[in-house]
Structure 1
Amino acid sequence: MGVAVGVGFAIVHAFAARSEWAHAADPVTQEKKRDFAPLLTAYQATCRSANIKMPQHRAVAGRIQVPSRWTILAVLFVARAAFAFQFGSVGAVAPQLRQSLGASLADIGILVGIYFAPGVLLAFPAGTIGHRYGDKATVLAALLAMLTGELLMTSSASWSVQIAGRLIAGTGGILLSVLMTKMVADWFAGREIATAMAIFVNSWPVGIAISLMLLPWIGARFGLPAVNLAVAGWIMIGFGLMAFFYRAPEAVVSVGGEPGSVTSEMVYAVIAASSIWCLYNLGLVMIFSFGPTMLRRARLVHGCSWINDQHRPLAHGAFGSLRRLAR
């Protein structure tokens, strides 16, 4: 009797633990619960007769607490914003990098652009990689690659190390960007997909904006290594959220309709959309990559002009006083 109850306890406990992560409104999950109801009722009666305490699971108003698809979207938003935060980190501290590395503006441009160089090779097979090893596992590996590249850049001020770190981090960033778009589509296919995609896409400018506002201050106050550590910290937060909160949907909702052949109109539409997206990102990258250096230079020039125009008599008087004291 005790052995039977123990085995039943293990089976039901395992099923209940698995069910904690299921959607309350998912038809597949509801069907599983209905099929399991007689076994659960019999098990509860056996436990009561044997004075065995039932396992308690988190529940609110009779419903198991589960992460909603909006919670999953928030996790994906933070993790992808880490990707944008890392990409924008070089442009944000470009003036400090030029002084530290002895680099020119062209060198800074290389350091910015080489982040996306792995995309030439990984953009197409990224989906296949995710399908083979799992979306979550691949994204976690991508975040680890981003973290490794950032820590490598922290370890040395050598130009070759900086290039290697950006390449490694960019490899992870490309995998993350491609697969996370699919993850959002899996969770929201057929229900509020436009809203979800609009929120998700905005993680890119949000991450870049935060890097432009925060990282220059960190670099001026604590130095460039602190900038790399700040980027690494955000990546670690994204890794933790993905590892502990993300899960794949129980059943991917398929969109109805028969697959059709690729037409010339479809090809033209894809080319037009991708060209617009390419030009938009090109202008955006140019602004935040070289904007900080341009603004800093403009501020210095404006300051010198202001001194020359407004305070030339004061400057002449001060230098005259110094010459008289020297005599």
Structure 2
Amino acid sequence: MDEKLYPQRWIILAVLFVVLCILQFSVILTPGIATIIMPEYGFTPAQFGIICNMPFLAGVLFGILSGSLGDRYGTKIVMLIGLIIFVAGAFWRVFATDFISLCISSLVMGFALATLNSNSTKVIRLWFPGKAMGPAMGVYVCGACIGASVALKMGPSFAKSADAFLACAYAAVATLLIWFFLFRNHPDGEKSEEESSLQQIKSVLKEKNVWLISIMIFFVFGCSTTAQTYMNAGLAEYGSGNIEFASTISAVSAIFVAIGSIIMPAIIAKFKKLRPVMLMLCIAQFIVLCLVFILPFGIPTLILMFFMGLFLGGMLAMGKAIPALLPNINPRDLGAVGGVQSTFQNIGAWCVAGYIIAPICQVLIPGNVYFGIYVGAGICALLAGLTVMLLPEMPTSLDAKIKMEEMGNTAANQNT
């Protein structure tokens, strides 16, 4: 059955793009000011990683709930509440003076990102059904990449961390206004009236594949946030203190992720089966990340960052699109499924870098910490690919899935 395309879908996609861009800017600006905030507060790499990824803890705590509430009450109102909390956290962080206050204010800031991550797959599927979903998801993910790129490039230019956080606070207010005035729920509705939020969550948690895609996205975002968190600091050290060039490479790498998030889904859609393609993508990412701090700093680093961004963009875009490609998932439950996946996504983003990889590397290879961190990020990519192989085979685009379902229904009707 054909689903109607509404002309205002482009406004919705633009709003999602801009909002995610600003939210990601606010999160990644902390890694962007690594060379400022670490000596300013005397943080170790592990402490720094914890603060950088605290916003993702909000997704751990509220990802499932916000996705289910989005199904129940509509994305606009739920996201609006998240953005109000985000603004409060952003201004609180400006005046944070120690490790604890930075952690808590960063956590509060994460509510909006948690809500958006939980509901984005559902919203994009509604506004961009069929084969349009893959490219639309790529554009959406591109917003995060652009935000990260700006943050990584601008970060070293601030005089002190408070100035950077104040810029985030102003951007937070702009985000709230953009969402309030421009976002609209889908004309055909996106609320689920059939069952309560709790029943919906219980229903999707019974699906084994929901758990598998959630574990997969845990590793994808563990890889992504680990690489981004320590990119400026690691490249600055590897480049003998050349912070300007290091931040430029970091910023350009985020642009490469944006490019990958758009073109890789289109390339992947040309294949019939998703699992082997995702596995090869993750293996390639593992190899690239292991080489970043082995090959000479400079042009080889830039080339590696190009491929890292290309592969990571594909992993992120397809990883977020997989819930809509899986068999036996009711489209009305995509918010709840997205909430579960978002929770695991945020667990990976929150704990892998600061609580697992960095502490291990500080103990095992204290003289070459950033090399170890990037190898750890590569292992996460490899584990993501192996997890995908545990899923049932699925098509590479929503359009292909719809055609397969139509063919199956036709065959079933002919046999009756």
- TM superposition score normalised by structure 1: 0.62
Query: What is the match of residue 159 of structure 1?
Result: 99
1:267 pairs, out of 208, 212, 225, with 208
**1:272 deviation in Å?**
5.1
**1:83 alignment partner in structure 2:** 23
- 1:136 equivalent in alignment to 2:136: no
Q: How does 1:1-327 map to 2 (within 5 A)?
A: 68-190=8-130, 192-217=132-157, 219=158, 222-252=159-189, 267-268=208-209, 270=210, 273-300=213-240
Structure 2 Cα separation of the partners of residues 243 and 180 of structure 1: 17
Q: Deviations over 1:77-121 (max 9, x none)?
A: 101112211221111111211122221111101112322122222
C-alpha contact (below 8 Å) 2:74/2:190 kept by paired residues: no
Q: CA deviation at 1:133?
A: 4.2
- Partners of 1:191 and 1:105 in 2: CA distance: 43
293-302 vs 130-139, which moves further: 293-302
Contact 1:100 1:157 in 2 (8 A): no
Please state how far the C-alpha of 1:243 moved relative to its aligned partner: 1.0
In structure 2, relative to structure 1, the CA distance for the partners of 1:149 and 1:167 (3 Å cut) is same
Name the Cα RMSD after superposition.
Answer: 3.0
Range that drifts further, 186-195 or 135-144: 186-195
1:192 alignment partner, SS class: helix
Whether the aligned pair in 1 keeps the contact of 2:22 and 2:172 (CA below 8 Å) is yes
Q: Distance in 1 between matches of 2:7 and 2:62?
A: 31
Runs of 4+ residues deviating >6 angstroms:
none
Query: In 2, distance between residues paired with 1:281 and 1:184?
Result: 20
CA distance in 1 between counterparts of 2:143 and 2:160 reads 27
Q: Which has the higher contact order (CA 8 A, sep 6+)?
A: 2
- Any stretches of 5+ residues in structure 1 without a counterpart? 1-25, 28-65, 255-260, 304-327
Specify the SS of the correspondent of 1:124.
Answer: helix
Q: Distance in 2 between matches of 1:154 and 1:277?
A: 31
One-letter amino acid of the counterpart of residue 267, structure 1: K
CA change 1:214–1:165 in 2 (3 A) is: same
- What do the CA deviations read for 1:242-300 (whole angstroms, capped 9, x no partner)? 1111112221499xxxxxx99x9x735x5554444333322221222112112222333
Q: What letter is aligned with 1:170?
A: G
Scaled by the length of structure 2, the TM-score of the pair is: 0.49
Q: Which moved more, 1:70-79 or 1:294-303?
A: 294-303
1:123 and 1:174 in contact (8 A); partners too: yes
Query: CA, structure 1 residues 191+83, in 2 after alignment: closer, same or farther (shift >3 Å)?
Result: same
Between the two proteins, the alignment pairs up a number of residues equal to: 229
Shift of 1:175: 1.4
Distance in 2 of aligned mates of 1:102 and 1:167: 21
Decide whether the 8 Å contact of 1:140 with 1:242 is kept in 2. yes
Deviations 1:31-87 (A, max 9, x none): xxxxxxxxxxxxxxxxxxxxxxxxxxxxxxxxxxx9721111101110111221122
Shift of 1:235: 2.2
C-alpha change, 1:302 and 1:238, in structure 2 (3 Å) is closer
The CA distance in 2 between the partners of 1:194 and 1:282, in whole Å, is: 23
1:278–1:131 Cα change, 3 Å: closer
Would the aligned equivalents of 2:35 and 2:156 in 1 still touch at CA under 8 Å?
Answer: no
Say whether the 8 Å CA contact 1:186–1:252 is kept in structure 2: no
Task: Supply the distance in 2 between the matched residues of 1:89 and 1:302 (Cα, whole angstroms).
Answer: 19
The 2-side partners of 1:81 and 1:212 are apart by 13
Match of 2:319 in 1: none
Q: CA deviation at 1:189?
A: 3.2
Residue of structure 2 in register with 1:58 after alignment: none
Distance 1:302 1:246, change over 3 A: closer
State the percentage of identical aligned residues. 23
CA separation in 2, counterparts of 1:267 and 1:164?
34
> How many Å separate the matches in 2 of 1:94 and 1:302?
13
3-state secondary structure, aligned to 2:230? helix
Q: 1:153 and 1:88 mapped to 2: Cα distance?
A: 14
Deviation at 1:139, TM superposition (A): 0.9
CA distance, structure 1, for counterparts of residue 81 and residue 15 of structure 2 = 16
